[in-house]
Structure 1
């Protein structure tokens, strides 16, 4: 026999995660986000590498309640955000990675589509940034913050990989902006989406 009901599966998963969290230094709500990240990845190591900065949870929840426009750097992150939960909010979710003007800009500038998509997001008034794949997008966001061209409500910065990922997240933690990030190479679009889902479930309980 095996568990078939989705919520029972999730509840059982959370019970298992609870049993290994130990004495991690998270608030109750930070713990909910951390558990959602672990649930998504199946990786208990996350409990040791998540960093919340500058009142991330309160700022992100307040922004979601206001109906922030949220940018994701990949279609995968966009698809991973729970649409019924999102529909309860007045937030707008966008991604520009496949837009033709972004493709053309990337080719002309000799950079990644992710970085150019990030620039388009800033031009379009995005205030919530969800970056799970592309360090170049996160680096570009940090450049625009320092140039005074954008003041994010919050940043989810969890790009994955071996080239620039750890460095971009370290740079994010040096900037005074509400953020959540991971130390090292781990992260990903699924992780980024799980963080937004955790926030949505807090603001709009299921």
Structure 2
């Protein structure tokens, strides 16, 4: 079991004075609170799009040892409870017509076509490419950041009907994406309040 530092306990106590998450389903609450805690921004609560069934499936897959594939190393190092495959590491150069991030996702999809949990916290092109690969996943955490393409990529993820966590705005990033994974890994039996 993870030891919770007193600063984290205090942070959650403050968070809960500013944001009431009591009516959220358990894993949705865990994800929303972990992202808000990580970013110190309660407005994430109205921006995140979570599906409790997808969160349960993703958590079960992770606990059963499913591969965790991240788009970039910044997401991977933010996940504190288990190792990840970093798609960008599989792409030393970009394929013609693709970004390096998309090339890495394409390479990772070839290695992990079924059953991996995918976490995109950097490039919208990585999420776009993941949707084109047709991988089968219990959960995709799609929180790329940026003014160009991130809103459309996240909307496409939701429209595709894949089990996912996303958000509606341009914000996102490695910290938020890793926080969503950590929330699933830390859930059950741990309440920092």
TM-score (norm 2): 0.89
Query: Which structure 2 residues correspond to residues 62-73 of structure 1 after superposition, within 5 A?
Result: 62-73=60-71
Confirm or deny: 8 A CA contact 2:131 2:157 kept in the other structure.
yes
Query: Which structure 2 residues correspond to residues 81-92 of structure 1 after superposition, within 5 A?
Result: 81-82=79-80, 85-86=81-82
Quote the Cα distance in structure 2 between the aligned partners of 1:63 and 1:168.
Answer: 24
* SS of alignment partner, residue 109 of structure 1: coil
Q: What per-residue deviation string (whole Å, max 9, x for no partner) do you get for residues 12-63 of structure 1?
A: 1001111122368621321111111011111111011010137221111111
Quote the Cα distance in structure 1 between the aligned partners of 2:70 and 2:35.
Answer: 17
How many pairs were matched up?
187
Of 118, 138, 147, 1:162 maps to: 147
- Deviation of 1:96 (Å): 3.1
Structure 2: runs of 5+ lacking an equivalent = none
Name the structure 2 match of 1:18.
16
Name the structure 1 match of 2:127.
138
Of 106, 114, 118, 1:129 maps to: 118
Query: Which structure 2 residues correspond to residues 1-206 of structure 1 after superposition, within 5 A?
Result: 7-22=5-20, 26-53=24-51, 55-82=53-80, 85-86=81-82, 93-99=84-90, 102-104=91-93, 106=94, 108-125=95-112, 127-145=116-134, 150-202=135-187
Quote the Cα distance in structure 1 between the aligned partners of 2:52 and 2:45.
Answer: 19
Quote the Cα distance in structure 2 between the aligned partners of 1:70 and 1:44.
Answer: 27
Confirm or deny: 8 A CA contact 2:27 2:52 kept in the other structure.
no
* SS of alignment partner, residue 181 of structure 1: strand
Confirm or deny: 8 A CA contact 1:53 1:177 kept in the other structure.
no
Structure 1: runs of 5+ lacking an equivalent = 1-5, 87-91
Report runs of 4+ in structure 1 exceeding 2 Å deviation.
22-26, 203-206
